[in-house]
Amino acid sequence: MKTVPRPQPGPALPAEVPLTAEELQLASRNHAMPLEMLGRDRTPAGMHYLVVHFDVPAIDAGSWRLRIGGAVRRPLELTLAELQAREQRTLAVTLECAGNGRSLIHPRPISQPWIHGGIGTAEWTGTPLAPLLAEAGVDPEAMDIVFTGADHGLQGGVEHDYARSLPVAEAMSPDVLLAYAMNGAPLPPQHGFPVRLVVPGWYGMASVKWLTGIEAVTEPFEGFQQIGSYRYKRSEADRGEPVTRMKVRALMVPPGFPDFLTRHRVVEAGPVLLHGRAWSGRAPVQQVQVAVDGAWADAELDAADGEFAWRGWSFHWQATPGEHELMCRAMDALGQVQPLEPEWNYLGMGNNAVQKVAVTVRTPR
Amino acid sequence: MKTVPRPQPGPALPAEVPLTAEELQLASRNHAMPLEMLGRDRTPAGMHYLVVHFDVPAIDAGSWRLRIGGAVRRPLELTLAELQAREQRTLAVTLECAGNGRSLIHPRPISQPWIHGGIGTAEWTGTPLAPLLAEAGVDPEAMDIVFTGADHGLQGGVEHDYARSLPVAEAMSPDVLLAYAMNGAPLPPQHGFPVRLVVPGWYGMASVKWLTGIEAVTEPFEGFQQIGSYRYKRSEADRGEPVTRMKVRALMVPPGFPDFLTRHRVVEAGPVLLHGRAWSGRAPVQQVQVAVDGAWADAELDAADGEFAWRGWSFHWQATPGEHELMCRAMDALGQVQPLEPEWNYLGMGNNAVQKVAVTVRTPR
């Protein structure tokens, strides 16, 4: 037997090193939404951001079962058909990866190197979770509901099926869905076929894909994805605070057309309608502002699109020849605004710093 | 007006530098197929590889028209409904980006940094191009048929709509389709909605998306994507040879389960069915071999899946505890085989070097 040295894991701690091969591998698997898709109310399946921690599992829908157990009076086991026969609800939901913007912080953690594209808005159809939990009869002493997916692997040295929990009160929200369709079609394999959780308002890690089990537990859940990841923390030793709901954020469709390699934008001088989307998982978006070369002014907000989808905005810009920097930022009803520069944390979570777009405006030809 | 310095384009020439921010931007837009998808005959839309040189255009199917003109006797203009009313044909076609494997060559060109995932196999439904060209009456002196898409931008300093040509004889092949459906659904926006070209056997750059025009020309087409890119060349000055059909290649589903960060694989000792797909745009796949720690042996081939789709293969491996390196390679009916190491060229085209997968085999727990 030829022995092949096992590759050492790359540096996973925050570093000022150039992009690593590990980051490229992750970026090539975990798809971003190209920002021109901000121009559409709904994100088509292949354009919605995607994180697959391990491999996309191949699941046979016929033999698939969802088990609801743990600290409940009546454990349940449901087929896909049984779930689909229950009350059906469709919600337009903006989902964002908690690590969106990670590649833009310094020093940056070596993980999925998002720029701005860890985002998407789809219509998710499924059955509400709360009535199922009520049927199962969750023990009054239960603290968390644990959701386990079929994807299996190693992370941080811990072998596990991807699993996340919600506090019981959050899991009982009428808006939490067991979703089996995305934009009117069965879930694509990579988005959790046959059934995934959708937790509106929360960063995407809560919306567990390829669900296999739901378990009520009477102690706080301490799985790897709950404690070892998705925390706002200052150092390796710091336990930190859990990542929960999406921070307020606006993004714009980069105007004009791009250069292939640099993605730098070229715009014709004259009136340009800047537009994009804004969202917050904590409160409705109340204001969006645009800055041209540092001078902020209010953008116009479209009508709200339900409670959980991003909100469109637009801004009339009279573009003059030369080099310009465009920015946008949102404020929500809690008064939360986006910072101009990233707020550093050890795992690169929740970076909602304003987007900056450099544009060359040229005289029309 | 605040003047913002315009970012300089990164180095686009072959370089030994670490991964650049430009490459990450491209990788985050141009999606790879995760290799576990080699386990499926057909690639779902959101998992199929994707290259968008500029922005995904937003096209209204109702007002869209396809113009066929240039050196033809009867220029045509067709609506989507008119195309869909014509003869319909569905073909399963494997498409691969000509730059697949680019990030693995040294020095590497700074462009879309594919690892192995620039690949996919879908069922494309459309109408054959040849009868339309016959109706238009292509001038006997025409040399090339030029296909122009709606995506617009700058590349290599040249502003253009993406356009590629085929020699007239290739364009008249009965297998070249004007496709309006992928895997039984209308084309997703990112795959060329409403209509794209599909040229079976050729690398993906020939299958122009978001088609707007088809033009017969009596001189060789010398657009940027024909002459400035997609060439096998040795230096900047070398005009090189055009990239045409896909070279022979096999890829395997990485066995076992991965580590999140490194993607290193862990397998339980015992019998393991290695499997994957093989294809060539030049001749049928005739043989696939697998090497465990450098010793090559024949894999079993599945039945062929039409003329243009990849071919499944499998190999029974008795995995013993320790570190192993797996490889696979294909040979086609022309006797073409894959090299063990990449064959360097200036633009990083057609790298079909064998895939190597490092695996840790552990004693079952």
Instruction: Give the span between the Cα atoms of B127 and B85, in whole angstroms.
Output: 9
Give the nearest partner residue to B320 out of A1, A34, A259, using CB atoms.
A1
Mean pLDDT of chain A: 95
The reported pLDDT for the residue numbered B14 is: 79
Residue A83 in 3-state DSSP? Answer: helix
Instruction: Give the span between the Cα atoms of B158 and B223, in whole angstroms.
Output: 9
Nearest CA in chain A to B57: A36
Q: A323 vs B5: CB contact, 8 Å cut-off?
A: yes
Buried b (16+ CB within 10 A) or exposed e, B29-48: bbbbbbbbbbebebbbbbbb
Nearest CA in chain A to B294: A2
Q: B190 vs A28: CB contact, 8 Å cut-off?
A: no
Nearest CA in chain B to A52: B260
Q: Per-residue confidence at A128, pLDDT binned at 50, 70, 90? A: very high
Contacts of B144 (CB under 8 A, 6+ apart): B165, B166, B167, B168, B216, B217, B219, B220, B221
Are A232 and A348 in contact by the 8 Å Cβ rule? The answer is: no
Interface contact A9, partner B, CB < 8 A: yes
Instruction: Give the span between the Cα atoms of B100 and A100, in whole angstroms.
Output: 26
Interface of A with B in 171-230 (CB under 8 A): 185, 188-191
The reported pLDDT for the residue numbered B11 is: 52
Q: Is the Cα dihedral A221, A226, A231, A235 positive or negative?
A: positive
Interface of A with B in 57-96 (CB under 8 A): 58
Best interface-test mutation with B: which of A20, A42, A56, A262 has the largest number of B CBs within 10 A?
A: A262
Interface contact A103, partner B, CB < 8 A: yes
pLDDT tens-digit readout, A167-224:
999 999 999 999 999 999 999 999 999 999 999 999 999 999 999 999 999 999 999 9
B249-362: which CATH topology? Answer: Immunoglobulin-like (2.60.40)
Buried b (16+ CB within 10 A) or exposed e, A140-176: eebebbbbbbbbbbbbeeeebbbbbbbebebbbeebb
Interface contact B303, partner A, CB < 8 A: no
Interface contact A11, partner B, CB < 8 A: no
Are A153 and B259 in contact by the 8 Å Cβ rule? The answer is: yes
Are B170 and B176 in contact by the 8 Å Cβ rule? The answer is: yes
**Range scoring the smallest mean pLDDT among A2-11, A257-266, B58-67, B176-185:** A2-11
Q: Per-residue confidence at B5, pLDDT binned at 50, 70, 90? A: very low
Helices first, then strands: H and E counts in chain A: 4, 22
Instruction: Output phi, psi for B179, to 5 deg.
Output: -95, 135
Best interface-test mutation with B: which of A210, A261, A326, A365 has the largest number of B CBs within 10 A?
A: A261
Instruction: Give the span between the Cα atoms of B11 and A99, in whole angstroms.
Output: 28
Give the nearest partner residue to B261 out of A9, A191, A325, using CB atoms.
A9
Kindly tell me if the per-residue pLDDT of B209 is higher than 70. yes
Nearest CA in chain B to A13: B261
Buried b (16+ CB within 10 A) or exposed e, B55-77: bbbebeeeebebebebbbeeebe
Interface of B with A in 320-339 (CB under 8 A): 320, 322-325
Buried b (16+ CB within 10 A) or exposed e, B147-180: bbbbbbbbbeeeebbbbbbbebebbbeebbbbbb
Instruction: Give the span between the Cα atoms of A44 and A57, in whole angstroms.
Output: 21
Q: Which two three-digit tokens encode residue A143? A: 């603290």
Kindly tell me if the per-residue pLDDT of A67 is higher than 60. yes
Are B110 and B11 in contact by the 8 Å Cβ rule? The answer is: yes
Interface contact B37, partner A, CB < 8 A: yes
Kindly tell me if the per-residue pLDDT of B131 is higher than 90. yes
Give the nearest partner residue to B55 out of A5, A36, A293, using CB atoms.
A36
Q: Count of A–B CB contacts within 8 Å? A: 227
What is the distance, to the nearest Å, from the Cα of residue B312 to the centroid of all Cα atoms in its chain? 18
Give the nearest partner residue to B261 out of A111, A263, A322, using CB atoms.
A111
DSSP H or E segment with residue A309: none
Q: B188 vs A6: CB contact, 8 Å cut-off?
A: no
Domain ranges of chain A: 21-242, 249-362
Interface contact B358, partner A, CB < 8 A: yes
Kindly tell me if the per-residue pLDDT of A2 is higher than 70. no
The amino acid present at B298, given as its one-letter code, is: D
Instruction: Give the span between the Cα atoms of A68 and A75, in whole angstroms.
Output: 6
- The CA distances from residue A154 to A14, A52, A157, A160, in Å, are 20, 13, 6, 6
Instruction: Output phi, psi for A102, to 5 deg.
Output: -60, -35
Give the nearest partner residue to B47 out of A12, A22, A190, using CB atoms.
A190
Taking contacts as CB-CB distances below 8 angstroms, the residues of chain B near A104 are: none
The reported pLDDT for the residue numbered A200 is: 98
**Range scoring the smallest mean pLDDT among A15-29, A290-304, B57-71:** A15-29
Q: Which two three-digit tokens encode residue B132? A: 């339309």
Are B208 and B215 in contact by the 8 Å Cβ rule? The answer is: no
Taking contacts as CB-CB distances below 8 angstroms, the residues of chain B near A29 are: 32, 34, 117
Give the nearest partner residue to B44 out of A28, A188, A358, using CB atoms.
A188
Interface contact B291, partner A, CB < 8 A: no
pLDDT tens-digit readout, B147-193:
999 999 999 999 999 999 999 999 999 999 999 999 999 999 999 99
Other CB atoms within 10 A of residue A288 CB:
25
pTM of the model: 0.95
Instruction: Give the span between the Cα atoms of A82 and A65, in whole angstroms.
Output: 10
Nearest CA in chain A to B100: A28
Contacts of B21 (CB under 8 A, 6+ apart): A19, B10
Q: Per-residue confidence at B15, pLDDT binned at 50, 70, 90? A: confident
Taking contacts as CB-CB distances below 8 angstroms, the residues of chain B near A22 are: 261-263
Give the nearest partner residue to A257 out of B21, B47, B153, using CB atoms.
B153
Burial of A227 (0-12, 13-18, 19+ CB in 10 A): middle
Are B15 and B22 in contact by the 8 Å Cβ rule? The answer is: no
Best interface-test mutation with A: which of B230, B261, B365 has the largest number of A CBs within 10 A?
A: B261
The Cα of A5 is separated from the nearest Cα of chain B by a number of Å equal to 7
Q: A322 vs B18: CB contact, 8 Å cut-off?
A: no
Interface contact A105, partner B, CB < 8 A: no
The amino acid present at A130, given as its one-letter code, is: A
Instruction: Give the span between the Cα atoms of A229 and A99, in whole angstroms.
Output: 10
Q: B323 vs A5: CB contact, 8 Å cut-off?
A: yes
Q: Which of B215, B224, B283 is nearest to B249 (CA)?
A: B283
pLDDT tens-digit readout, B46-85:
999 999 999 999 999 999 999 999 999 999 999 999 999 9
Taking contacts as CB-CB distances below 8 angstroms, the residues of chain A near B266 are: 154
Nearest CA in chain A to B162: A260
Instruction: Give the span between the Cα atoms of B362 and B257, in whole angstroms.
Output: 12
Q: A29 vs B34: CB contact, 8 Å cut-off?
A: yes
Instruction: Give the span between the Cα atoms of B57 and B224, in whole angstroms.
Output: 20
- The CA distances from residue A80 to A24, A86, B112, in Å, are 36, 10, 40
Instruction: Give the span between the Cα atoms of B247 and B118, in whole angstroms.
Output: 13
User: Per residue, what are the HEC states of A164-201?
Assistant: EEEEHHHHCCCCCEEEEEECCEECCHHHCCCCEEECCC
CATH 3.90.420.10 corresponds to the domain A21-242: yes
What crossing angle do the helices spanning A21-29 and B21-29 adopt, rounded to 10°?
20
Instruction: Give the span between the Cα atoms of A329 and B132, in whole angstroms.
Output: 50
Q: A47 vs B28: CB contact, 8 Å cut-off?
A: no
Q: A258 vs B188: CB contact, 8 Å cut-off?
A: no
Nearest CA in chain B to A29: B34
